[in-house]
Amino acid sequence: TGSLKLAVIPGDGIGQEVTPEALKVLEVAAPAGVKFEQTGYDLGAERYLATGEVLPDAVLGEIREHDAILLGAVGGKPNDPNLPPGILERGLLLRLRFELDHYVNLRPSRIYPGVASPLSEAVLQGQEVDFVVVREGTEGPYTGNGGALRVGTPAEVATEVSVNTAFGVERVLRDAFARAELRPAKKLTLVHKTNVLVNAGSVWWRLTQEVAAEHPDITVDYMHIDAAMIHMTTNPQRFDVIVTDNLFGDIITDLAAAITGGIGLAASGNVNPDRTAPSMFEPVHGSAPDIAGQQKADPTAAILSAGLLLDHLGHPEAAASIERAVLADLTDRAAGQGAARRTAEIGDAIAARVSG
């Protein structure tokens, strides 16, 4: 019992539509005696365009004092001349991930019963697809370590240098192995490109072997990123826990979402396993400017992300009740019910399943 402080950042586009649905479900799923004290933050494109502020230090300081963060999506309208690319992505989303040390970007990928996958029956063969991507969240090519010379000239040179520290790689590997220990298949696949990115590759490879030595019961596999894309579309059952760097993990998880029923279902947690700062939960998808403001977005990914939030805060039963409610709703969808529902109607239906 007690109250949990939740920082809520709906953000932009469909983030503003799916976040209220996640909150709706969170409210009814909260365990008896647990109250959410919400603080809303209007960070995102609108605030930036109006004030030039992306994430003021004082706001970051306030957000830090919460137990968890629920985020919708960030990103303004494409090609807005007043909104240079990356301003919000780097200045808001990545800054939160870096400053709050979200080194485990957790992205579960599962084909729920009844959900249509674009993969054929010949591929699926009635077998479960259920894996989790542990994407490193604070390093790789995302750190902003690079620059540009002679911009706009034919001699322009631009670099984005991937940062891979032994500290950063080892800690995410340890987390991934620990997660593999808790899963029935007990398998971990390192995905990288050690045949070309030999410097980064060697630290990932070596530390994987070192940590593996402490986990003799885990089956360890390795795949190059390009081949992993083949296996993910022709034999996704072979994956259990995938561990990979920040950029590979970004790309893999959109494909993983696509094969498991679509981006509208893909949830994620930006987790600080050491709990030195609040973790942040958000759908894998972005602000979807193409459908924003029309109540067309599927809020399920945001709702499942709220489930991950509850689990992280030590309420696995409440988290499971959200997952069950989503499963029931997906079963209704498979039966052809509730087609063409508005965002809020899907949220209502799932919330009703939780309380019912």
Active site amino acids: 142, 193, 226, 250, 254
Report how far Cα 168 is from the mean position of its chain's Cα atoms: 19
**3-class DSSP assignment, residue 259:** helix
CB of 141 to ligand IPM, least distance (A): 10
Which residues does residue 115 pair with via DSSP β-bridges, in sequence order?
none
CB of 290 to ligand NAD, least distance (A): 5
**3-class DSSP assignment, residue 129:** coil
Cα(214)–Cα(312) distance, integer angstroms: 25
> If you count them, how many residues does the chain have?
356
Which is nearer to ligand NAD, 110 or 315 (by Cβ)?
110
Is residue 282 at the binding interface for ligand NAD, with CB under 6 A as the rule?
A: yes
Quote the tokens at residue 106: 């957790």
Output the DSSP codes for 56-68. -HHHHHHHHTSSE
- The number of residues that bind ligand NAD (CB under 6 A) is 20
333 known member of a binding site: no
Is residue 306 at the binding interface for ligand NAD, with CB under 6 A as the rule?
A: no
CB of 282 to ligand NAD, least distance (A): 5
Q: What are phi and psi of 228, to 5 degrees?
A: -60, -35
Cα(161)–Cα(177) distance, integer angstroms: 27
Which residues does residue 40 pair with via DSSP β-bridges, in sequence order?
8
CB 21 within 8 A of CB 70: no
263 known member of a binding site: no
Is residue 301 at the binding interface for ligand NAD, with CB under 6 A as the rule?
A: yes
Q: How do 187-192 and 241-244 pair as beta strands?
A: parallel
Site string for ligand IPM, 218-257 (x = CB under 6 A): --------------------------------x-------
Is residue 71 at the binding interface for ligand IPM, with CB under 6 A as the rule?
A: no
291 binds, among ligand NAD, ligand IPM, Mn ion, none (CB under 5 to 8 A by kind): ligand NAD
Which is nearer to ligand IPM, 8 or 284 (by Cβ)?
284
Question: Stretches 10-18, 41-49, 52-60, 89-97: which one binds ligand IPM (CB under 6 A)?
Answer: 89-97
Which is nearer to Mn ion, 74 or 172 (by Cβ)?
74
**Where in 89-108 is the site for ligand NAD (CB under 6 A)?**
89, 93
CB of 202 to ligand NAD, least distance (A): 30
Place of tokens 């600080």: 272
Quote the tokens at residue 194: 């050690």
**3-class DSSP assignment, residue 202:** helix
64 known member of a binding site: no
- Half-sphere CA count of 171, side-chain side, radius 13 A: 17
- 14, 152, 285, 297 from 264: Cα distances, Å: 11, 38, 7, 7
**3-class DSSP assignment, residue 302:** helix
* Interface with ligand NAD (CB under 6 A), residue from 263, 306, 309, 346: 263
* Interface with ligand IPM (CB under 6 A), residue from 68, 92, 94, 302: 94
Binding residues for Mg(2+): 226, 250, 254
Binding residues for substrate: 97, 107, 135, 226
What is the contact surface with ligand NAD in residues (CB under 6 A)?
14, 18, 73-75, 89, 93, 263-264, 282, 285-291, 297-298, 301
Binding residues: 97, 107, 135, 226, 250, 254, 286-298
What is the contact surface with Mn ion in residues (CB under 5 A)?
250
